[in-house]
Chains A and B, each alone.
Chain A
Amino acid sequence: MNNNDRPLSPHLSIYRWPITMVSSILHRATGVAMAVGYVVLVGWLFDAASGPEVYDKFLSVMDSTIGCVLLVGWSFAFFYHLSNGIRHLVWDTGRGLEKEQATASAWFVIAASIVLTAAFWWAAS
């Protein structure tokens, strides 16, 4: 049997990711990232209750370059997961499931989460 004429798609190395696929993967990735971030949130509360010496150590870790990168990442993860979570709730009612609608809402969610993250750090500064 000659299979040479059969289509090769999706060929992973040249496969263009649909934005809906990116938004789905991002939802899961940001969720897992926030599960890790939860450890740091609890660490903040627990270290605050443990006294100034312990708390200051926590603060100096979060104040480092890596700490700041992580905090920006977690804030984006929160706003993305929140926006896309609302998108999921809309889907649960049976609305917005057409291909064009899902593509448009994926772009909207990504834009909204970037704007919200920027607004958060603008309000914080």
Chain B
Amino acid sequence: MSLRSPLGRVLGLGTAKDGTGHWWGQRVSGIALAILGLWFAWSIATMSGFSHVEAVTFIGKPINALLLLLLSVTMAYHSYLGIQVVVEDYVHSHGLKTASLILSRFAHILLAVAAIFAILRLGIGS
């Protein structure tokens, strides 16, 4: 016999109240980043140079722009999840913890949007 309430069972969120969403998000984005990260590492290792012209040409190429968009957004998501765990582990004051998490979310969204803006500008043509 289960001691859990019918509502608790149907929600399936357990005692942490947010279920396994965080765990799955971290794993799946991690797998995506393994592929995207290796592509990026390979790309910059084999780039002819890092002058402005070479960088703009690389980022602006459609396939690169697409993969860079995926990399930037997935990395912001994965990084947010990781920093969240670190903050929850080490910041014990409730107010400071909430403030840190909000600040981290703002910072990650800002960085992701800045990356999207820059890639689209170079990809679509300035």
Please indicate the chain B residues that have their CB under 8 angstroms from the CB of A38 in the complex.
75-76, 79, 111
Please indicate the chain B residues that have their CB under 8 angstroms from the CB of A39 in the complex.
111
Please indicate the chain B residues that have their CB under 8 angstroms from the CB of A48 in the complex.
52, 55-56, 59, 118, 122
Cross-chain contact A123 with B59 (CB below 8 angstroms): no
Please indicate the chain A residues that have their CB under 8 angstroms from the CB of B111 in the complex.
38-39, 42
CA A63 to CA B38, docked complex, whole Å: 23
What are 23 contact pairs spanning A and B, CB under 8 A? A31-B82, A34-B79, A35-B82, A38-B76, A42-B72, A42-B114, A45-B59, A45-B68, A45-B118, A46-B115, A48-B55, A49-B59, A49-B122, A52-B52, A55-B55, A59-B52, A79-B41, A86-B34, A89-B27, A89-B31, A123-B45, A123-B46, A124-B44
Q: Which residues of B contact A (CB under 8 A)?
A: 27, 30-31, 34, 37-38, 41-42, 44-46, 50-52, 55-56, 59, 68, 72, 75-76, 79, 82-83, 86, 111, 114-115, 117-119, 121-122, 126
Distance (whole angstroms) from the CB of A51 to the closest CB of chain B: 8
Q: A44-B55, A78-B37, A123-B46 are in contact. Are A49 and B82 (CB under 8 A)?
A: no
Q: Considering only CB atoms and an 8 Å cut-off, how many residues of chain A contact the other chain?
A: 33
Distance (whole angstroms) from the CB of A104 to the closest CB of chain B: 21
Question: How many residue pairs between the two chains, A and B, have CB atoms under 8 Å in the bound complex?
Answer: 84
Please indicate the chain B residues that have their CB under 8 angstroms from the CB of A42 in the complex.
72, 111, 114-115, 118
Q: Is there a chain B Cβ closer than 8 Å to A92's Cβ?
A: yes
Residue with the highest number of chain B CB atoms closer than 10 Å, among A34, A48, A52? A48
Q: A42-B114, A82-B34 are in contact. Are A120 and B41 (CB under 8 A)?
A: yes
A92-109 toward B: CB 8 Å interface, digit per residue (1/0)? 100000000000000000
Please indicate the chain A residues that have their CB under 8 angstroms from the CB of B55 in the complex.
44, 48, 55
CA A27 to CA B38, docked complex, whole Å: 18
CA A79 to CA B42, docked complex, whole Å: 12
